[in-house]
Amino acid sequence: MSSGLRYARRVAGLHPWLGVAVIAVCAAAAFTGGLLYWRRRGAGTIATHLLSLAQTLLVAQVAVGLLLLADDRRAGDELHYAYGSLSLGMALAPWFYAPEAGSRRLLWFAGTTGVAGALGVRAYMTGAA
């Protein structure tokens, strides 16, 4: 077995597990951010780190997906690519559109991360070949 084939299988095996991590972290970050907004508290370090981790995992998930596409591996449903791309775009949108400061900024990040997680669920459901 060549090392290139083993590498491709490892990357293909990593993609679904990374998807589960994306969904779980997005849900936790959205819940934490929403709870802090509702209780009228600041973002705090835990919420900030969770939101950052969610964005980092989404970028990593898309990068792994692009590696799989480069290896000529395709998803079972072409909607998988749309859901994955929209999920990343949704998580990154507050950097462009959220207010500069204040509790509304936290709400933007928490809300869009929750939607990104929901889109991640759809991407996960359409990804199996």
Nearest Cα to Cα of residue 95 among 65, 40, 58: 58
Number of domains in the chain: 1
Q: Which domain range does residue 32 map to?
A: 3-127
pLDDT of residue 32: 94
pLDDT for 31 equals 96
DSSP assigned state of 76: S
**E strands, the chain, in order:** none
CB 98 within 8 A of CB 105: yes
Closest Cα to residue 84, out of 30, 48, 125? Answer: 125
Query: pLDDT tens digits, the chain, 129 residues: what are they?
Result: 566 666 667 777 888 899 999 999 999 999 999 999 998 887 788 999 999 999 999 999 999 988 888 888 888 888 888 899 999 999 999 999 888 888 889 999 999 999 999 999 999 998 865
Instruction: Say what the pLDDT of residue 2 is.
Output: 61
